[in-house]
């Protein structure tokens, strides 16, 4: 099922007088949205009782939650303590994702360090270790989603991310089109580039997993090092444009979960993406 929603709560959510994520599902449903990404980027602190109360509201309003694991996961590390911490962060995020009623945990693979090839290999080992760890704890129903990254020094270009997903068919890529745009210094944008991304995905992981991909989308400012900051959609000279991706979604019958990571208008821009998709769908008829 194709889904659209925000990462976190828009500024307008609070401006409308709401204070708790408990109110978010109804608010999103009234906007016509049906997905939400809960961020544990700066730590996993959500209590079981609170998570389950949120989960009941997500289910009530037909909102599918996903979770973003802590940003400081680095599977490329050689430090055994940090590698153990990686497992703990993913374990804690996965458990809360289940309590929320979701089944996808998105994570950043790691950073390059001195040896990119070695870092990629350690990340592969870390991902397999994480899958086994979650299986042993009865959390194997959660899908891990390695994300494409925006800084050139970060592991997570398209090829690396797809390579990670060949390790196990349960892995689903999180394709952040803003990140790919930023790390390519603006080159990965437009119909041709977007179709090339989708076709490459189908070549490596197949049509079915490509259909189910997790998507992050926002306009991202970049420097020569890649990603600098996120912007609201259409509020800066930076891309990418959502229309080419909408065309690919319709053309191939894709059913991704599209999460908007705009700077403060995440829900509004997610709704705009939904409307762009609906318009393209009408044009294809």
The domain segmentation of the chain, as residue ranges, is 3-284
Look at the pTM and tell me if it is higher than 0.85.
yes
What is the share, in percent, of the chain residues with pLDDT greater than 70?
A: 100
Distance from C-alpha of 50 to C-alpha of 68, rounded to nearest angstrom: 17
Given pLDDT bands bounded at 50, 70 and 90, which one contains residue 48? very high
pLDDT (0 to 100) of residue 165: 99
Mean pLDDT of 113-118: 90
Nearest in space to 213 (alpha carbons), one of 69, 41, 73, 3? 3
| Mean pLDDT, residues 30-47 taken together | 97
Q: Residue 113, SS3?
A: coil
The mean predicted confidence, pLDDT, of the chain is 97
* pLDDT at residue 13 greater than cutoff 90: yes
Q: How confident is the model at residue 218 (pLDDT cuts 50, 70, 90)?
A: very high
pLDDT number for residue 96: 98
DSSP 116-137: HHHHHHHHHHHHHHHHHHHHHT
pLDDT digit string, tens, across residues 156-212: 999 999 999 999 999 999 999 999 999 999 999 999 999 999 999 999 999 999 999
- CATH class, range 3-284: alpha beta
The position carrying tokens 């700066």 is 42
Segment 119-166, tens digit of pLDDT: 999 999 999 999 999 999 999 999 999 999 999 999 999 999 999 999
Query: Cis (ω within 30 of 0) for the bond into 240?
Result: yes
């Amino acid at each position: 099922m194709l889904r659209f929603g925000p990462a976190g709560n828009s500024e307008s959510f609070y401006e409308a007088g709401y204070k708790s994520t408990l109110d978010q599902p109804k608010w999103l449903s009234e906007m016509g949205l049906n997905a939400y990404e809960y961020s544990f980027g700066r730590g996993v602190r959500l209590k079981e009782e609170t998570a389950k109360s949120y989960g009941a509201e997500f289910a009530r309003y037909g909102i599918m939650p996903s979770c973003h694991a802590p940003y400081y996961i680095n599977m490329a590390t050689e430090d055994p303590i940090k590698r153990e911490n990686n497992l703990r962060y993913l374990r804690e995020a996965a458990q809360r994702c289940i309590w929320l009623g979701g089944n996808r945990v998105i994570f950043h693979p790691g950073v390059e360090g001195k040896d990119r090839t070695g870092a990629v290999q350690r990340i592969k080992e870390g991902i397999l270790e994480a899958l086994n760890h979650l299986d042993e704890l009865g959390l194997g129903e959660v899908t891990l989603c390695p994300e494409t990254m925006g800084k050139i020094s970060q592991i997570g270009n398209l090829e690396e991310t797809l390579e990670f997903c060949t390790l196990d068919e349960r892995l689903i890529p999180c394709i952040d089109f803003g990140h790919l745009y930023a790390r390519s210094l603006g080159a990965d944008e437009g119909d041709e580039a977007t179709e090339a991304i989708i076709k490459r995905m189908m070549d490596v992981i197949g049509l079915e997993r490509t259909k189910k991909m997790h998507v992050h989308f926002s306009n991202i400012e970049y420097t020569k090092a890649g990603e600098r900051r996120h912007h609201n959609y259409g509020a800066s000279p930076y891309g990418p444009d959502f229309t080419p991706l909408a065309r690919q979604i319709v053309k191939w019958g894709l059913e991704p979960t599209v999460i908007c990571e705009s700077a403060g208008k995440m829900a509004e821009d997610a709704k705009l993406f939904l409307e762009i998709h609906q318009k393209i769908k009408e044009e294809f008829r």
